[in-house]
Structure 1
Amino acid sequence: MSHIAFLLVPGLHLLDLAGPAQVFSTTADFGDPYTLSYIAEQALIPTAQGLPLVARLDWPELGPEDLILVPGWRALALATSPVIGAASLQFLRDHHARGGTVASVCAGAEALGRAGLLDGRRCTTHHDLQDELARRYPRAVVIRDVLYTADDRVVTSAGIASGIDLALHLIATRHGPAVAAQVARNMVVYARRNGHEPQDSAMLRYRSHLDDTVHRAQDLLDASFDQPLPLPALAAAVGVSERTLTRLFTRATGGLTPLRYQQTLRLERAQHLISHGATVDAAARAVGFEDPRMLRRLRAREI
């Protein structure tokens, strides 16, 4: 079980907190348990939206597999951000030094900067605050106009709703893109991509739609892409005709048929195996191609 500890600062934005918290809570509903804690330097935390929050004053025991996340707050300028005590900043530094991950949403990057955790690392924040973040922490590498960055267990995201993207990225890293896609689907949000961060799987790339029938078909293909799954069997499993499934699938994925989607998954996995030393023939067998020539043709077509 992993622990997610949120450091709450007065004036925080509710969505900066609630978005990531919902992602981890939903992941727990699917069998990957998380414990969520809310810590602050005062028991009652006012929020930017007027709803006060009750927090604990002591830090839980955290290990290297755990995460501290700092939601952002309303700030016209980072220089006028709320005071964050030396003990909290030291806890952030110590957790990272012990192998743990720290993260921020929006103005929360200021807390990581004060803790010295942005020095020499890529980071981002809300577009209105990017220039000031770069001025305040000249040793940080501020990446502008991206949803999130990840650098040496320091993960930062842009404004407000991007905290959901950050959390989905962490879930995909820990549990695989299929789990992240399932969580995004349950939350009725797009499993969005960050243009400056490489995406590891088509399981997320073609999930930015709200068609439940297609999602169920993709769930089956994601789980068994290396096994034969003929269109009649796939259509029967999701309760529609072959023609309907093909039409819905093509529309939802921007032109892919179920077979082409399965081939894309196989190709992606094969490319990974080849990059780690497998031969083309061995990779083809591992991902379910009976004839290695099919893999060669797909690779040539991609190139």
Structure 2
Amino acid sequence: MSHIVFFLVPGVHLLDLAGPAQVFFAAADFGHPYTLGYVAEQPQVPSAQGLPLLARLDWPELGPEDLIVVPGWRAPTLADSPAIGTASLQALKNHHARGGTVASVCAGAEALGQAGLLDGRRCTTHHDVQEELALRHPGATVVRDVLFTADDRVVTSAGIASGIDLALHLIATRHGPAVGAKVARNMVVYARRNGHEPQASAMFRHRSHLDDTVHRAQDLIDARFAEPLPLPSLAAAVGVSERTLTRLFTRATGGLTPLRYQQTLRLERAEHFISHGATVEAAARSVGFEDPRMLRRLRARPAS
């Protein structure tokens, strides 16, 4: 079980906090429990929206698998941000030095900058304060037009709701894109493309719909894409006819049949194996193709 500790600063934005917290809370429903904790420099923290929040004053013992998240706060500029004590900044720095991950949402990147964690790393923040962040922390590389960045266990996200995208990315990285897709579906949110950076998996690209029948079919394919999955068996598993499943699936995914979706997942996994030194033949066998010629044909086909 991993600990997720949110460091709260006065004026914290509720969605900066609640969005990522809900992602990790929902992950428990899929067998990946997290313990959520809240730390601040005062026992009661006023939020920007007026709701007071309670927090502990002492930091729990954290290990490399644990995560600290700094949600953003309301302030006219980063220079006007609430003061953060030396001990808190040192706690952020120490956790990263021990192998842990530190993340921020929106203006929370300023806390990471004050802790020295942005120096030499890529980062982002809300578009209103990106230029100021770059000026205040010249050792950082501030990336524009992305939802989040990840660089050497320092993860930063843009404004407000992008904290959900950041948390989904961390879930997918730790537990696989299928789990990330399930959590996104559970929260009824779309997995959004991260600016100029290509989305990592078809499990995300083709999940931006609300058809529960298709989601259930995708859950089965995601979990067993290397196995034979005949359309009659897949349709029976989700309780519809073969014709209905094909029609719903094609409409929800922008033109993919269940077989084409399965082939797309196989292709992506095979490309991963090939990029790590596997031959086409070995990669084909690993993802369920009996004939490597099918993999070669799929690799030559334009991407979905």
**TM-score grouping bracket, smaller chain normalisation:** over 0.9
In structure 2, the residue matched to 1:11 is 11
Name the counterpart of 1:225: 225
Q: Where in structure 2 are there 5+ consecutive unaligned residues?
A: none
In the aligned structure 2, how far is the partner of 1:244 from the partner of 1:208?
A: 20
Deviation by residue 1:21-76 (Cα, 9 ceiling, x = unmatched): 00000101221111111000000100000000010000000001100000000122
- 1:19 maps to a residue whose letter is G
Secondary structure of 1:103's partner? strand
- Whichever residue aligns with residue 292 of structure 2, its letter is P
- Alpha-carbon distance in 2 for matches of 1:225, 1:299: 17
Aligned residue number for residue 246 of structure 2: 246
What SS does the aligned partner of 2:6 have? strand
**Residue 198 of structure 1: how far off its partner (Å):** 4.3
Q: Hey, what does 1:276 align to over in structure 2?
A: 276
1:106 and 2:106 aligned: yes
Q: CA deviation at 1:214?
A: 0.6
Aligned length: 303
Q: 1:293 and 1:227 mapped to 2: Cα distance?
A: 18
**How far has the Cα of 1:276 moved from its partner?**
1.3
Q: Which residue does the alignment assign to 2:187?
A: 187
Residue 286, structure 1, aligned to residue 289, structure 2: no
The residue aligned with 1:156 is 156
- What are the within-5 Å matches in structure 2 for residues 1-303 of structure 1? 1-302=1-302
- Provide the C-alpha distance between the structure 2 equivalents of 1:35 and 1:194, rounded to a whole number of angstroms: 27
**One-letter amino acid matched to 2:278:** A
Paired letter, 1:251: R
Deviation at 1:292, TM superposition (A): 1.1
Tell me the amino acid that sits aligned with residue 165 of structure 2: D
Q: Report how far residue 187 of structure 1 moved.
A: 0.5
Structure 1 window deviating more from structure 2 (149-158 vs 268-277): it is 268-277
Deviations 1:141-160 (A, max 9, x none): 00012100000000000000
Deviations 1:134-183 (A, max 9, x none): 11111110001210000000000000000000000000000000001100
Q: SS of the residue aligned with 2:301?
A: helix
**1:199 to partner: Cα distance:** 3.3
- Distance in 1 (CA, whole Å) between partners of 2:201 and 2:20 is 21
Write the deviation string for residues 226-283 of structure 1: whole angstroms up to 9, x where unpaired: 1111111111111111111111111111111111000001111111111112111111
The runs of at least 4 consecutive aligned structure 1 residues that moved more than 4 Å come to: none
Cα distance in 2 for partners of 1:180, 1:207 equals 11
Greater shift after overlay, 20-29 or 277-286? Answer: 277-286
TM-score (norm 1): 0.98
SS state at 1:223 partner:
helix
> How far off is 1:200 after superposition?
2.9
Residue 197 of structure 1: how far off its partner (Å)? 3.6
Moved more, 62-71 or 273-282: 273-282
Unmatched tracts of structure 1, length 5 or more: none
Checking the alignment, whether the CA contact within 8 Å between 2:145 and 2:196 is kept in structure 1 is no
2:213 counterpart letter in structure 1:
T
Q: Match of 1:128, SS? A: coil
Letter in 1 for 2:14: L
Mapped partners of 2:243, 2:106: distance in 1: 45
Q: What is the root-mean-square deviation in Å for CA atoms of aligned residues?
A: 1.0
Conserved? CA contact 1:149–1:197, under 8 Å: no
CA gap of 1:10–1:23, structure 2 versus 1, over 3 A, is: same
TM-score (norm. length: structure 2):
0.98
- Taking the aligned partners of 2:196 and 2:167, their CA distance within structure 1 comes to 17
In structure 2, give the amino acid aligned to 1:285: R
Whether the 8 Å contact between 2:145 and 2:195 is mirrored in structure 1 is: no
